[in-house]
Structure 1
């Protein structure tokens, strides 16, 4: 028995927000003081570092649970399964449903329960629950699905990553330009086919790193002090990721028994183009080998950082030949890796 991804799906919102939409924003430093650069320069530097030219926002009437249900329906159809046969629905997110124009997160009932309801799944033995694990949440959900299946507690699981980060950003913070909305979903099940999940690695660093990403006040001191927004220590996260993620990927690959030269694709959380490129360089440096061409597909340039949704969305796009110069063939060895709030890191080695 092997544990494989038998179906994928994603939901990419229609609304495109280009960088020039931020031209009239009032960007402020953390202490509320003005940034001594025109917005054109701020945006130009932002694109040079992150690679982001545009991002996607959900329509006002849609919430994270809606996006997750759309992606899930696509994955179910792709796997050609009866949704009533699902044993678990595991939904990774960070902020629940945040309705447009409100300031409160809504996680009661869980997003997994809402998505199961939206999918009209009646089977009470299909257990639906949420996972809060920062940006690595979808990967961790896949690891949990693997554990359920391996233990004989499940045969088929639906794992979703969904987020509407556009509704929790401080528009006076330059980091607001990074975040976006979207959802990705996968069907994980036991099969007799070759390959599947070969190894995984997970770690949580909480001594000094726990609050690198957190909820905090707006950079604008005149706004309501009781309203919180997503905040991050960008430099600290960058250094943390470069120090921890490549080694986790190496440990995972070594555990799998596969050789570095067998790896065909690396799907890294789409947080920052320069950071992902630096992670890739350090990873291959650990093996003292050159980086192959077309090893790391990227979607951040057009889709931005949708947190838990980036990796499953990217995987679905490559599976469906929607990213230029990237495709997958049966037997290909790939790595999934992520880093995010907590601070958590994880990786999976998978044979397609």
Structure 2
């Protein structure tokens, strides 16, 4: 029996820190026109809801595939697996490499092929796949990787996640303040259960759900809200209220269903690593999940112990949020949060489509050689 085990992790955070006062000089619009409210008021309300105080923007000379490669190198180094032994590269993203002048999306060749090229992997049997699945793309990449490992088509798979959302935001949209740049990466390897003392570890169970009818329009692209701004037609357009309602309706029940199908109680989960989209929404999702288990303690302190957060400092970097948070915890950079051998965690994400997914992962009690 094969267990799909994380053997290495890595991430990349851009150096440039963009604080909320950066947006004081912006002119904000909505569908009706210029917003008749001071930027100070807009930013305060935004911070109260999302808790975002700052975010990271990529240097102008870097591309999405560049930062994916940086995170990949760190994950490979951490795994101690030679790059030529990687059988697949699965790269989660949404916009590809954005041209620095035309602001057009470029995914030919694919981001995964570019990562392979930049890693200088010569192995012709190493196959690059791109995962375009909205913000849940990294978890979906992990799901695909598990299926490939379980089918014995692969032994080691590199899953990268990267996004440069600062290049596709409308500077006249208040939602621009949510988004940020970053990358994460994981090496997932097929490990014989006998070497784990016959304990089922690694990926335990997962599920994905996709609602692509009315929900299809909750996250889209379009021109600027300011009709005079013509820089790019590729701008994130988000219906925040509908996404919030959708998340609270779908995600808690899906996560409980995953736990039930796996025969695991929420009491057995050490950490819940959820996509860092909006602090208010994430808290509400977890509260509803806890209520499904009749938890009596729903105070913020209890939730903060089980659900580590990075959105306050790093914003929403789409596919990169979950693997970045995971790597920070595993590298001891999110204290007092820790993940120890034998711990079981629950990961979840939702995004464009609308797509939602979740995964249970258990860390081996013994170190993988």
Q: TM class by shorter-chain length?
A: over 0.9
Residue 37 (structure 2) aligns with? 37
1:306 counterpart residue number = 317
Matching residue of 1:112: 112
* Displaced runs of 4 or more, over 6 A: none
Q: Match of 1:272?
A: 278
- Which ranges in structure 2 are unaligned for 5 or more consecutive residues? 364-369
- The answer as to whether partners of 2:221 and 2:233 remain within 8 angstroms in 1 is no
Give distance in 2, aligned partners of 1:99 and 1:108: 12
Partner of 1:209: helix, strand, or coil? helix
Could you tell me which residue of structure 2 aligns to residue 85 of structure 1?
Answer: 85
For residues 281-309 of structure 1, the C-alpha deviation after alignment (integer angstroms, 9 at most, x for no partner) is 00111111245451001011110000000
- Which residue of the partner structure matches residue 10 of structure 2? 9
Q: Secondary structure at the match of 1:345?
A: strand
TM-score, normalisation: structure 1: 0.98
**Residues 74-126 of structure 1 deviation map (CA, whole Å, 9 limit, x = unaligned):** 00001111010011000000000003333200000000000000001000100
User: For the aligned residues, what is the CA RMSD?
Assistant: 1.2
Check whether the contact 2:103–2:232 (CA below 8 A) recurs between aligned residues.
Answer: no
**3-state DSSP of counterpart to 2:29:** coil
Corresponding pairs, count:
351
Query: CA-to-partner distance for each residue in 1:314-344, whole Å, 9 max, x for gaps?
Result: 0000111111320111111100100000100
**1:349 matched to 2:360:** yes
Give the one of 249, 257, 261 matched to 2:255.
249
Is residue 243 of structure 2 the alignment partner of residue 237 of structure 1? Answer: yes
SS in 2 for 1:266: strand
- Aligned equivalent of 1:183: 183
Q: Who is 2:28 aligned against?
A: 27
1:205 paired residue number:
211
The alpha carbon displacement at 1:229 in A equals: 0.7
Q: Distance in 1 between matches of 2:232 and 2:344?
A: 48
Distance 1:82 1:188 in 2: 13
Is residue 183–residue 324 contact of structure 2 (8 Å, CA) maintained in 1? yes
223-232 or 37-46: which moved more?
223-232
Where does residue 134 of structure 1 map in the other structure?
134
**Contact kept in structure 1, 2:102 and 2:232, CA below 8 Å:** no
Instruction: Give the distance between the partners of 1:15 and 1:30, measured in 2 at CA.
Output: 31
Query: Structure 1 residue 190: deviation in Å?
Result: 1.2
| TM-score normalised to structure 2 length | 0.93
Instruction: Name 1:143's counterpart in structure 2.
Output: 143
Cα deviation, residue 228, structure 1: 2.9
How far is 1:152 from its partner? 1.1
